[in-house]
Amino acid sequence: MITDKEIQNAKLEPKFYTLKDYDGLFLRVNPKGKKVFYFRYKWLDNPLYSIIDIGEYGVSSNKYSLTKARAKRDQFIDDIKAGINPKEESTKGATFKTLANQWLKAQEIKWSAKTRQTNVTRLGYAIKDIGAKPIEDVTAEDILNICRKQERRGTKEVARRTRAIVGSIFEYHMLYDVSARVSKSLVIHKPVNHPHFTEKEDIKKLLNDIDNYHGSYEARMALKFLSYTFVRSKPLRLAEWTEIDGDMWRVPGHKEKTGRPLLVPLSTQAQELLKEIQQITGDKKYIFNSNYRDNYLSDTTLGRILTRMGYGGKHSVHGFRHMASTCLNELEYDGDAIELQLSHAPVGVRGVYNKAKKLSYRTKMMQDWADWLSNL
């Protein structure tokens, strides 16, 4: 059993923690000091516990004192004894967004900040389309349309995980999961493992080690340039001086996996790097010319260097793309802009429109990204 004094004196901790009362009532304290009451119970023969968000601790009319939270808990217990599931009562007429946010709050206790942000981003795709709909009006077709959008963007795994999150929301509120049959309609994606770093300290150490690498100068500069631009290996290794147009790198379509040209806005850091290496390879065809073969870098050179530096199995060449994508999403940059810069954009009219629409945004994003790396 907890007391008001214990709640008021609850200290801030780096992670969520719980103060237990009795009969299923408990208080969760988040790292920022927010305190929320929850009620935990079992319904019928379901072996899993259900959790209901009662409300935030406080003395104002829209918050809950300990006494008020216990009264609400007792009301739920009476409902259960009368054969009424508290969650079913609380979901009538509620919108998908409202119930989705309740699910998020209930899951936070077991998530890291990184996992929470990833799931918030994925859930955002669903809320954008069906957030205002009453939960009982959401259909399997609604969920399928959301997932199809992800598939068309080339992010099949995101589509699958978004469907799973929507299903978890229905299950959490003990509602019939209309998304269940959608999973069989989705394109199966077999993810390829590209090890990469996403934590600041790991990225900082990686960049410092690249700066201090004493092997091939051109390869070292290529890895630094890759950290700023996060392009695929081929356009990086085969980058030519003729492709640089002031503060823009114009990657021709035949060097891209998609077959489409890619515009890469160059940050001031990337431009300074090019000015430096131009003194060495400016008379060559390729920017990162290999001294050993007087040609472009081989497809294994950069990977071997990362392995020599101790990053084998920890961070790959392709991992720079995953690193940038994950971090930029966590920094809440526009998802479409990130996908466009990764050359994951959809083909057709919508793809052309987005390229024009997002270029100024992407230019700022790429500068912000380089500044973020420089300030680690």
Distance from C-alpha of 18 to C-alpha of 231, rounded to nearest angstrom: 44
Which residue range forms the structural domain that includes residue 217? 200-374
With 0.85 as the threshold, say if the pTM is over it: no
In a shared domain, residues 180 and 45: no
pLDDT tens string 287-327: 999 877 678 998 889 999 999 999 999 999 999 998 999 89
Residue at 119 is within a domain: yes
Could you tell me the CATH number of the domain that includes residue 326? Answer: 1.10.443.10
In a shared domain, residues 173 and 296: no
pLDDT tens string 337-363: 898 899 875 443 334 445 445 899 999
Which residue, of 71, 91, 111, is where some domain finishes? 91
| Residue range 96-102: mean pLDDT, rounded | 89
Per-residue pLDDT, 62? 85
In a shared domain, residues 38 and 24: yes
pLDDT-based confidence at residue 47 (cuts at 50, 70, 90): confident
In a shared domain, residues 52 and 106: no
Task: Map tokens 């992670």 to a residue.
Answer: 15
Note the maximum CA span of the chain.
84
Q: In which element (H, E) is residue 40 found?
A: strand 35-42
Per-residue pLDDT, 79? 86
Proportion of the chain above pLDDT 90, given as a percent:
49
CB contact at 8 A, 15 and 23: no
| Residue range 123-148: mean pLDDT, rounded | 90
DSSP state at residue 316: -
Residue at 303 is within a domain: yes
Task: Map tokens 């060449």 to a residue.
Answer: 317
Per-residue pLDDT, 347? 40
In a shared domain, residues 322 and 343: yes
Residue at 195 is within a domain: no
Residue at 193 is within a domain: no
Could you tell me the CATH number of the domain that includes residue 156? Answer: 1.10.150.130
Is 164's pLDDT higher than 70? Answer: yes
In a shared domain, residues 27 and 102: no
State the pairing for strand pair 295-296/289-290.
antiparallel
pLDDT-based confidence at residue 275 (cuts at 50, 70, 90): very high
- Mean pLDDT taken over the chain: 87
Task: Map tokens 């010319």 to a residue.
Answer: 289
Distance from C-alpha of 146 to C-alpha of 189, rounded to nearest angstrom: 17
Structural domains counted in the chain: 3
In a shared domain, residues 107 and 64: no
Which residue, of 91, 110, 135, is where some domain finishes? 91
* CB-side neighbour CA atoms (13 Å) of 216: 24
pLDDT-based confidence at residue 188 (cuts at 50, 70, 90): low
In a shared domain, residues 106 and 82: no
Residue at 194 is within a domain: no
In a shared domain, residues 221 and 370: yes
In a shared domain, residues 63 and 32: yes
pLDDT-based confidence at residue 193 (cuts at 50, 70, 90): low
In a shared domain, residues 53 and 81: yes
pLDDT tens string 104-124: 887 877 777 778 888 888 898
In a shared domain, residues 354 and 231: yes
